[in-house]
């Protein structure tokens, strides 16, 4: 019987005194080592070099059933451990009162570990296992700290992770295992078919998959305590391979997670009906390991790699025995740069503080503040700073921050830590003050729909000082309650939202039926919307600010708390002042505040109200309040705070990549036409309308071009440039009316200049106006002029017979005029393609507003607007027949640039041909004489380079590059908006300018002075050099017989071997080939070769081989 050992046995023996002899020293070490091997937890000091990566692994002896457990513990650096398996199980009761024989001694373990070891031991041979309950000395705090730091590497290195769920008293394991195997087998087959998402079916209610009774067994399985444990996320997530052991069944962990992931995304009702829930973090780990498969199973919804910060936040609701492990249990899943050494001697708050200060803050900066939660006690707890996330608090069902949310736009600032006061110093903009807050929304005392309706009534009675534009209060209220989020498809959500709105507005007390945007009849259920509100608002309060804005904040919020935007956070924050003189605050938590810049309205079925969070790119009305730092506008400029902020936020290749003048001009035309129509329809005061019209006309004439400083590289909708034009025109109109610049009175940039439009339809309209004007005024005239110049050359070159070339080799002859006729035809077709693109560009999106529905636009505005634009530009424009297409897609721009891309290909070929034909002057082709415009070389005197040809081909290459970007831009219309608009119009106008200027330069400096070297052309066509006097005689000769004699051996012999082509119909292809090869090989003429081979007589050759008869069908 194994002897029990006391705690004292685990202590390392002291080293012998230095004065002992070497022999005594060696003997003591030997004895110490021998005794150490009898300890169940061998000490790492025995390892050579005291390797810090040591682990202990278990050699589990064979056995069956309830027979006693026995094992050996061995010590080794992790890299040297033989192949082993790691055990993942539930500790359960932490009492260690079960004996196991270990290294010949008795060691105490938990009952749960005993069950797990019995389940995994083999009947006839040893099994190498790692299990934390025995491989870590649980009584040694230092050992625990060291080994816990190694656990991520241990589970990653294990050949397999054995997930032990426990016994199966109800006999459910067989049913669960068979169902998972069946479904996963089908999924695996379809995923590997290579046919993509479409082959994966989404079950619909009524399918057999919903009624399979085996789902209940799966629900029982995921009810096992293992799924509630925190450590198992790392243990299963890092596994190379994992097997679930439940009762007498083995189930692939990958299969289980994949099926669960599939059901979650495609048959969610099964999860609710059967309770087949696997915690979300396990799905996150599946996405990390199998991103392509997860992307297909989830309809392409896999986001970016999950961050450690998000992992420990998602784990807040998971069970862990030690609250320190809310950090330590997930270190193995951390990305590179996250380093922390577990230390179980520290208190829980000390661990959280160290994690925030030394681990998270250097990597994530102020983003960690988004994860701060407090209750009434912790907010006043001075033992830990308020900015440190307490991972053991789990107040909210849904966080405001989410992984894909981008950091709000504030100048970059890295938080700094002040150690003497444990203060975090951040840069922030104080926005507003909380004046009112609702009671806490709780899951225990759930507020009813009537309670929410009463809250809305109270808000209306308050009559806040500012509020939301154009009667959007109710929409903003509802968007705030849901933080603009909705479950499922938006088309199915709208009826529920509408039914809820009807109740809040007092129009209905029942559900509302209607038709969603996909055309199917559905009934709106306010309870569905209200359930979602309760989830979002759990442990939060609805707040109203001094400016009348609505928000959602932690339930501990108080009147007087401050709403701010902190540089590096992804949402607004609520802070509580503690020392005004030192600008010190406590962090209450993250918040959601609905911006006034919202498209939310009382809308029809097909229109979805969309609000923005205060602080994001579309919800930045706080800039207008004068609270944004360093946003001072130069006194000599007409632009305002929006433009100034954009100028600071998008310092990208300035001033080279400013928005093109053609776009600024088009903005002026747009705003001028809109002002005219808005005034005519009674939407604008005539005095204001006239002032806007005058200011916009100055923009259209480019008198105010210096007031448009923004880069092309900005928001993809062009919002910054639209606001730039609104502000410039507003301030210039204010100046015309004698007002104060920047006052927005009496002309407001949004309410007046932007009236009947949004950035989305305005930018799309501006793009088309600019494109049509630039094509008509620049490109088409330059193209026609170059075409005519080439046609003149064609006419003057018609009489010159030259050798043709295919594959860069000699071919049959043609005239130089015929060659140039091909260039003319290329440009004729190019012109036709450009003109074909114009009708689609003439369709304008204006009046479609945000998504193409025409929200906030009076009937008839779009048509009258296009009439005014046509009058102002002198060219015809029409309202787009479908404004959703006009805003969400910019296909007309892609088509137009496609024509330019094709034209660039044609011009490249023309310039390249002329460049090659002009190469020389003595050792090249030299058939054309290029104009000598400038010295060609700084090193070689007298050299003439084809500079105009090279310039044209280079700019053509740039146009082709622009087309690639425009193509990508054209395909980047997500849902109701193309978000590459500035890039597309910049590249289009750039290409138009390049081609227009390039063609003008090429015509003036190359084509106009281009000449043919007829002597050189004749020499290449005929063997003996043709003297110029004979060439002149030949050109002037009217006697056909003389010309014939000139082209025969009486004067010269034919040089081009490809003249043999005219013999193939006489003597056959094969014999003609032999004649040509013999001539080339023996350096003789074709005539001499034919006579030598006796295939033709001299008279026959002279009759058949006549280049002038080879220029047309004969």
Active-site residue, 807 included: yes
Looking at domain 767-1015, does it have CATH number 1.20.200.10?
yes
Q: Spell out, as residue ranges, where the chain has pLDDT lower than 70.
A: 1-52, 194-206, 300, 403-412, 443, 463-472, 508-522, 580-582, 597-611, 616-635, 1023-1055, 1114
Are 722 and 759 spatial neighbours (Cβ–Cβ below 8 Å)? yes
Region of residue 483 (phi > 0: left; psi between -120 and 50: alpha; otherwise: beta): left
Distance, in Å, from the CA atom of 116 to the CA atom of 552, rounded to the nearest integer, reads 47
Residue 386: per-residue pLDDT: 95
Residue 430: per-residue pLDDT: 83
Are 899 and 869 spatial neighbours (Cβ–Cβ below 8 Å)? no
Which is catalytic among the residues 208, 807, 1036, 1038? 807
Distance, in Å, from the CA atom of 232 to the CA atom of 347, rounded to the nearest integer, reads 23
Distance, in Å, from the CA atom of 153 to the CA atom of 148, rounded to the nearest integer, reads 10
- Three-state SS at 288: helix
Half-sphere exposure of 69 (CA within 13 A, CB side): 26
Give the predicted TM-score (pTM) of the model: 0.56
Of 594, 592, 551, the closest CA to residue 400 belongs to: 592
**DSSP letters along 62-102, please?**
P--TTPPPEEEEEEEEGGGPPS-EEEE----S--EEEEEEE
The domain ranges of the chain are 49-158, 363-513+522-613, 641-755, 767-1015, 1049-1113
Residue 273: per-residue pLDDT: 78
Of 945, 935, 936, 955, the closest CA to residue 915 belongs to: 945
Distance, in Å, from the CA atom of 59 to the CA atom of 68, rounded to the nearest integer, reads 15
Residue 635: per-residue pLDDT: 66
Other Cβ atoms less than 10 A from the Cβ of 95: the count is 9
Rg (CA), the chain: 41
Beta bridge partners of 3: 105
Distance, in Å, from the CA atom of 79 to the CA atom of 75, rounded to the nearest integer, reads 12
CATH architecture of 1049-1113: Orthogonal Bundle (1.10)
Q: Where are the alpha helices (DSSP H) in 346-405?
A: 348-354, 361-364
Residue 407: per-residue pLDDT: 57
Backbone angles phi, psi at 1012, to 5 degrees: -95, 140
**DSSP letters along 569-619, please?**
-SS-EEEEEEEGGGTEEEEEEE-EEB-SS----S--TT------BTTSTT-
Distance, in Å, from the CA atom of 822 to the CA atom of 820, rounded to the nearest integer, reads 5
Distance, in Å, from the CA atom of 618 to the CA atom of 623, rounded to the nearest integer, reads 11
Of 415, 91, 382, the closest CA to residue 231 belongs to: 91
Domain 641-755 classification at class level: mainly alpha
Which is catalytic among the residues 94, 937, 1028, 1064? 937
Distance, in Å, from the CA atom of 384 to the CA atom of 392, rounded to the nearest integer, reads 14
List strand residue ranges (DSSP E) for 722-867, in order. Answer: 801-806, 809-815, 843-844
Distance, in Å, from the CA atom of 403 to the CA atom of 570, rounded to the nearest integer, reads 10
Of 1060, 981, 1000, 1009, the closest CA to residue 783 belongs to: 1000
Angle subtended at Cα 829 by Cα 827 and Cα 835, rounded to the nearest 5 degrees: 100
Of 601, 476, 604, the closest CA to residue 543 belongs to: 476
């Amino acid at each position: 019987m194994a002897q029990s050992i006391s705690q004292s046995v685990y202590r390392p023996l002291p080293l012998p005194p230095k004065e002992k002899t070497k022999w005594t020293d060696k003997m003591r070490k030997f004895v110490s080592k021998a005794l150490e091997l009898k300890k169940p937890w061998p000490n790492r000091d025995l390892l050579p070099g005291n390797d810090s990566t040591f682990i202990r692994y278990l050699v589990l002896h064979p056995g069956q059933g309830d027979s006693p457990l026995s094992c050996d513990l061995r010590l080794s650096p992790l890299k040297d451990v033989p192949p082993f398996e790691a055990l993942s199980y539930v500790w359960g009761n932490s009492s260690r009162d079960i004996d196991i024989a270990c290294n010949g001694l008795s060691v105490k373990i938990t009952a749960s570990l005993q069950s797990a070891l019995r389940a995994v031991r083999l009947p006839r041979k040893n099994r190498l296992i790692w299990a934390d309950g025995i491989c870590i000395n649980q009584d040694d705090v230092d050992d625990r700290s060291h080994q816990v730091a190694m656990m991520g590497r241990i589970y990653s290195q294990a050949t397999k992770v054995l997930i032990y769920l426990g016994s199966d008293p109800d006999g459910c394991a067989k049913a669960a295992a068979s169902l998972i195997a069946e479904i996963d087998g089908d999924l695996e087959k379809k995923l590997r078919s290579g046919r993509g998402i479409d082959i994966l079916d989404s079950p619909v209610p009524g399918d057999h998959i919903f009624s399979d009774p085996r789902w209940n067994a799966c629900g029982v399985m995921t009810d096992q305590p293992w799924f509630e444990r925190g450590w198992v996320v790392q243990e299963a997530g890092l596994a190379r391979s994992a097997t679930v052991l439940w009762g007498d069944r083995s189930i692939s962990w990958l299969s289980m997670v994949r099926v669960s992931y599939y059901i979650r995304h495609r048959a969610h009702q099964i999860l609710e009906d059967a309770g087949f829930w696997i915690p979300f973090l396990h799905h996150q780990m599946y996405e990390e390991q199998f991103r392509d498969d997860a992307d297909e199973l989830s309809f392409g919804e896999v986001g970016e790699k999950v961050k450690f910060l998000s992992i420990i936040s998602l784990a807040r609701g998971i069970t862990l025995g030690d609250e320190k492990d809310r950090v330590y249990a997930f270190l193995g899943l951390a990305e590179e740069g996250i380093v922390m050494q577990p230390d179980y001697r520290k208190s829980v708050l000390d661990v959280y503080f160290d994690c925030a200060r030394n681990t998270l803050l250097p990597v994530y900066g102020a983003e960690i503040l988004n994860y701060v939660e407090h209750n009434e006690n912790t907010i006043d707890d001075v033992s830990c700073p308020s900015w440190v996330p307490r991972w053991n608090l789990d107040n909210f069902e849904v966080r405001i921050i989410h992984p894909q949310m981008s950091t709000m736009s504030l100048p970059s600032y890295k938080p700094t830590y002040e150690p003497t006061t444990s203060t975090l110093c951040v840069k922030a903009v104080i926005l507003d003050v909380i004046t009112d807050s609702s009671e806490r929304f709780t899951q225990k005392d759930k507020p009813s729909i009537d309670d929410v309706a009463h809250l809305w009534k109270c808000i209306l009675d308050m009559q806040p000082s500012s509020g939301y534009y154009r009667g959007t209060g109710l929409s903003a209220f509802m968007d705030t309650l849901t933080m603009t989020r909705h479950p499922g498809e938006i088309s199915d959500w709208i009826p529920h939202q509408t039914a809820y709105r009807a109740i809040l507005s007092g129009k209905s007390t029942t559900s509302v039926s209607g038709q969603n945007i996909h055309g199917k009849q559905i009934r709106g259920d306010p309870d569905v919307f209200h359930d979602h509100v309760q989830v979002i608002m759990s442990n939060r309060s609805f707040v109203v600010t001094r400016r009348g804005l609505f928000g959602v904040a932690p339930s501990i919020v108080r009147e007087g708390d401050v709403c701010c935007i902190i540089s590096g956070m992804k949402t607004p924050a609520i802070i509580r002042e503690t020392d005004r003189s030192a600008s010190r605050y406590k962090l209450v938590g993250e918040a959601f505040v609905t911006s006034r810049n919202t498209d939310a309205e009382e809308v029809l079925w097909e229109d979805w109200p969309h609000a923005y969070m205060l602080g994001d790119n579309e919800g930045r009305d706080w800039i207008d309040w004068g609270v944004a730092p360093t946003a001072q506008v130069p006194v000599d400029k007409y632009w305002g705070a929006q433009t100034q902020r954009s100028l600071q936020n998008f310092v990208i290749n300035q001033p080279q990549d400013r928005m093109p003048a053609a776009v600024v001009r088009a903005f002026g035309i747009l705003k001028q036409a809109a002002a005219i129509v808005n005034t005519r329809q009674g939407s604008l005061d005539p005095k204001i309308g006239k002032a806007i019209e005058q200011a916009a006309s100055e923009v259209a004439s480019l008198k105010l071009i210096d007031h448009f400083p923004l880069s092309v590289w900005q928001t993809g909708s062009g919002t910054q440039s639209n606001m730039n034009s609104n502000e410039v025109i507003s301030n210039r109109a204010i100046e015309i009316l004698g007002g104060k610049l920047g006052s927005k009175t009496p002309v407001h940039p949004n309410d007046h200049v932007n009236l009947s439009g949004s950035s989305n339809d305005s930018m799309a309209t501006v793009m088309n106006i600019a494109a049509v004007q630039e094509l008509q005024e620049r490109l088409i005239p330059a193209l026609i002029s170059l075409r005519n110049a080439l046609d003149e050359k064609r006419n003057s070159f018609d009489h010159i017979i030259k050798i043709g070339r295919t594959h860069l080799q000699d071919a049959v002859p043609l005239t130089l005029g015929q060659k140039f006729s091909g260039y003319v035809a290329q440009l004729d077709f190019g012109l036709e393609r450009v003109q074909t693109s114009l009708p689609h560009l003439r369709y304008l999106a204006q009046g479609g507003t945000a998504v193409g529905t025409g929200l906030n636009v009076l009937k008839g505005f779009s048509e009258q607007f296009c009439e005014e634009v046509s009058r102002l530009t002198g060219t015809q424009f029409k309202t787009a027949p479908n404004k959703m297409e006009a805003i969400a897609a910019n296909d007309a721009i892609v088509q137009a640039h496609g024509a330019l891309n094709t034209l660039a290909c044609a011009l490249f070929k023309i310039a390249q041909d002329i460049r090659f034909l002009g190469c020389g002057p003595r050792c090249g082709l030299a058939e054309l004489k290029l104009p000598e415009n400038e010295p060609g070389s700084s090193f070689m005197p007298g050299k003439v380079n084809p500079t105009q040809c090279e310039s044209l081909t280079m700019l053509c290459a740039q146009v082709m590059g622009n087309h690639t970007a425009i193509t990508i831009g054209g395909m980047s219309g997500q849902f109701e908006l193309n978000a590459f608009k500035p890039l597309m119009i910049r590249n289009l106008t750039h290409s138009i300018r390049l081609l227009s200027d390039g063609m003008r330069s090429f015509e003036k400096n190359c084509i106009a002075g281009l000449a043919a070297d007829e002597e050189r052309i004749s020499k290449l066509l005929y063997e003996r050099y043709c003297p110029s006097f004979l060439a002149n005689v030949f050109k002037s000769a009217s006697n056909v017989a003389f010309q014939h004699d000139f082209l025969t051996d009486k004067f010269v012999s034919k040089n081009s071997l490809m003249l043999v082509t005219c013999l193939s119909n006489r003597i056959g292809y094969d014999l003609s080939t032999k004649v040509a090869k013999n001539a080339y090989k023996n350096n003789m003429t074709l005539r001499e070769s034919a006579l030598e081979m006796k295939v033709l007589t001299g008279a026959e050759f002279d009759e058949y081989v006549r280049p002038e008869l080879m220029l047309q069908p004969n």
